């Protein structure tokens, strides 16, 4: 179904999670009034925005359940349309009967006032999409609805709530307002090319652009933090066999997630565990020990090593684990050197060199790379903090908000256009038409975040990932 072709259809969905529960909510949203449907369902008028406790009956008049009915006439509703919510007990069979009864009642109301003959089941995200279309939310706030539902940490949930409240959108709006002012100056200069007054110089266009770029840089830093809170950090534990990668995974997870033995090559495939540090989700992957094909005749282990290098290339951070007990042994050091070269060749973004098995020493080395003991837990807290630092994580304060990778892309595109505009301003005879075009492109890139300039394909991608009933 093409969502844009069905915007006038009344829609119906279960707004609570599938399965048994104390309460189940059936939600209807319609551009047309719901008076006819309400009359068929209840035989009475519902006072707007008041909870009515009454029986939910089938077509034969038999009581299915007792519950609450709430009517929100447009535009004072979550979607901006006419909304009806039925709150019943959360039995799956009962809720299916209520859905079927609403569809049946809509068909029965086809000949009366407020008829809803086209009432249908909603597509994923269709309620939130209508809220966006009717100006109840901008696109960044609409995405925050899904992020709030999917939040895996308290910090992510609070940041998503702030984004839903409009903290991120307000920052975008401030930038767009400044851009509009700057674009107006450039357009005025284009309209009056023969004037003696240099509009751009007198209006301090360069300082205005500098302030705009500074505000954009600050917003990008906060957005990067928001993406980290939403998506988390992908961390790979890498190193030679028997350096303690599986032991470190177990220590960080606080559970025996990986098998630990003194036999080299025990880990043959990637094992992942998700946890949180300081409110930031971390997805940690233990990989097969890295060694050359000449050092193993096991084909399964070779496949595991190949997967290790793939995981390393895709990771946000790599913990290069080394063995203090074998430090200084020529063969071991040479193999570690080959791994270090391989990490650079694989394009590992951030590499943390960590020495394990510090319990074999009388004391932790005071300087140099981090040393720890996965067995005793010494040094683990420092590693956690180093991982957060490597990710660029900042404390999730009152101004933090959730963000997505597409937002970072749009902000980066905006920064690129502003940098190009600054270069044109620095050239005395640069065509002002090019400057105006760069500013327009920057304005459009910002608009893509909140939905002012967004392709239909992107809208389908965004709202198609919502659950039914949102």
Question: Which region, left, alpha or beta, applies to residue 198 given φ > 0 means left and ψ of -120 to 50 means alpha?
Answer: beta
Q: Is residue 287 marked as binding?
A: yes
Q: Is residue 409 marked as binding?
A: no
Q: Is residue 251 marked as binding?
A: no
Question: Which region, left, alpha or beta, applies to residue 278 given φ > 0 means left and ψ of -120 to 50 means alpha?
Answer: left
Cα-based torsion angle of the residue sequence 171, 174, 176, 179 in order, rounded to the nearest 10 degrees: -130
Rounded distance, CA 430 to CA 433, Å? Answer: 9
Q: What pairs with residue 11 in β-bridges?
A: 29, 120
Length of the chain measured in residues: 470
CB atoms within 10 A of CB 359: 17
Q: Is residue 262 marked as binding?
A: yes
Phi, psi (degrees; rounded to nearest 5) at 232: 80, 180
Q: Is residue 453 marked as binding?
A: no
**Strands annotated E in 206-291:** 233-238, 271-277, 280-286
Residue 436 CB-half CA count within 13 A: 11
Q: Is residue 247 marked as binding?
A: yes
Rounded distance, CA 259 to CA 232, Å? Answer: 25
Rounded distance, CA 467 to CA 446, Å? Answer: 27
Phi, psi (degrees; rounded to nearest 5) at 374: -65, -25
Let me know: does 28 contact 37? Beta carbons within 8 Å.
yes
Q: Is residue 264 marked as binding?
A: yes
Q: Is residue 366 marked as binding?
A: no
Q: Is residue 124 marked as binding?
A: no
Q: Is residue 245 marked as binding?
A: yes
Q: Which two tokens stand for residue 64?
A: 């299915």
Q: Is residue 136 marked as binding?
A: yes
Q: Is residue 335 marked as binding?
A: no
Q: Is residue 368 marked as binding?
A: no
Q: Is residue 85 marked as binding?
A: yes
Rounded distance, CA 235 to CA 333, Å? Answer: 24
Q: Is residue 316 marked as binding?
A: no
Rounded distance, CA 423 to CA 426, Å? Answer: 5
Q: Is residue 375 marked as binding?
A: yes
Rounded distance, CA 85 to CA 361, Å? Answer: 66
Q: Give the single-character DSSP code of 293.
A: G
Rounded distance, CA 201 to CA 184, Å? Answer: 14
Report the first-to-last Cα separation within the chain, whole angstroms: 17
Q: Is 426 exposed, middle or buried (0-12, 13-18, 19+ CB in 10 A)?
A: exposed
Q: Is residue 289 marked as binding?
A: yes
CB atoms within 10 A of CB 188: 13
Q: Is residue 288 marked as binding?
A: yes
- Closest by CA to 399, choosing from 221, 159, 195, 230, is 159
Q: Is residue 267 marked as binding?
A: yes
Q: Is residue 310 marked as binding?
A: no
Q: Is residue 211 marked as binding?
A: no
Q: Is residue 243 marked as binding?
A: yes
Q: Is residue 189 marked as binding?
A: no
Q: Which two tokens stand for residue 16?
A: 């609570």
Tokens 């559970």 belong to 255
Q: Is residue 470 marked as binding?
A: yes
* Residue stretches of the annotated binding site for K(+): 242, 261, 263, 266
* Residue stretches of the annotated binding site: 27, 85, 136, 242-247, 261-267, 286-289, 356-359, 373-375, 470
* Residue stretches of the annotated binding site for (6S)-5-formyl-5,6,7,8-tetrahydrofolate: 27, 85, 136, 470
* Residue stretches of the annotated binding site for Mg(2+): 246, 267
* Residue stretches of the annotated binding site for GTP: 242-247, 261-267, 286-289, 356-359, 373-375
């Amino acid at each position: 179904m093409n969502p844009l072709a069905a915007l006038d259809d009344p829609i119906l969905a279960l707004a609570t999670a599938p399965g048994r529960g104390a309460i189940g909510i059936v939600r209807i949203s319609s551009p047309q009034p719901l008076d006819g449907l309400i009359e068929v369902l209840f035989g009475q008028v519902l006072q707007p925005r008041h909870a009515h406790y009454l029986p939910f009956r089938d077509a034969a008049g038999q009581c299915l359940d007792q519950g609450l009915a709430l009517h929100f006439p447009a535009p004072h509703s979550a979607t901006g349309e006419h909304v009806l919510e039925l709150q019943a007990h959360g039995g799956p069979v009962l809720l299916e009967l209520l859905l079927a009864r609403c569809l049946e009642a809509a068909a029965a109301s086809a000949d009366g006032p407020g008829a809803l003959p086209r009432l249908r089941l909603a597509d994923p995200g269709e309620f939130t999409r209508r809220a966006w279309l009717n100006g109840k939310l901008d696109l960044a706030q609409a995405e925050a609805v899904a992020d709030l539902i999917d939040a895996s940490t308290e910090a992510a949930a609070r940041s998503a709530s702030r984004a839903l409240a409009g903290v991120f959108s307000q920052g975008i709006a401030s930038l767009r307002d400044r851009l509009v002012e700057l674009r107006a100056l450039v357009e005025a200069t284009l309209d009056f090319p023969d004037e003696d007054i240099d509009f751009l110089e007198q209006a301090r266009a360069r300082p205005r652009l500098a302030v705009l770029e500074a505000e954009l840089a600050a917003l990008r830093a906060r957005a990067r933090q928001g993406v980290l809170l939403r998506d988390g950090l992908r961390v790979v534990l890498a190193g030679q066999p028997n350096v303690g990668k599986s032991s470190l995974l177990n220590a960080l997870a606080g559970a025996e997630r990986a098998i630990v033995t003194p036999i080299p090559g025990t880990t043959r495939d990637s094992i992942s565990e998700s946890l949180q540090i300081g409110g930031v989700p971390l997805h940690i992957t233990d990989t097969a020990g890295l060694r050359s094909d000449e050092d193993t005749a096991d084909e399964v282990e070779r496949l595991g090593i190949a997967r290790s290098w793939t995981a390393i290339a895709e990771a946000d951070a790599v913990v290069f684990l080394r063995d203090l007990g074998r430090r200084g042994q020529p063969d071991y050091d040479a193999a570690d050197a080959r791994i270090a070269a391989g990490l650079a060749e694989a394009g590992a973004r951030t590499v943390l060199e960590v020495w394990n098995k510090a319990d074999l020493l009388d004391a932790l080395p005071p300087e140099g790379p981090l040393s720890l003991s996965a067995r005793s837990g010494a040094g683990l807290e420092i590693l956690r903090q180093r991982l957060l630092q490597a990710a660029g994580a900042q404390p999730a304060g009152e101004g933090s908000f959730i963000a997505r990778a597409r937002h970072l892309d749009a902000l980066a595109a905006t920064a690129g256009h502003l940098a190009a505009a600054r270069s044109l301003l620095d050239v005395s005879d640069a065509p002002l038409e090019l400057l105006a075009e760069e500013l327009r492109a920057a304005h459009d890139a910002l608009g893509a975040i909140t939905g002012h300039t967004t392709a239909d394909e992107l809208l389908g991608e965004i709202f198609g990932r919502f659950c039914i009933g949102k």
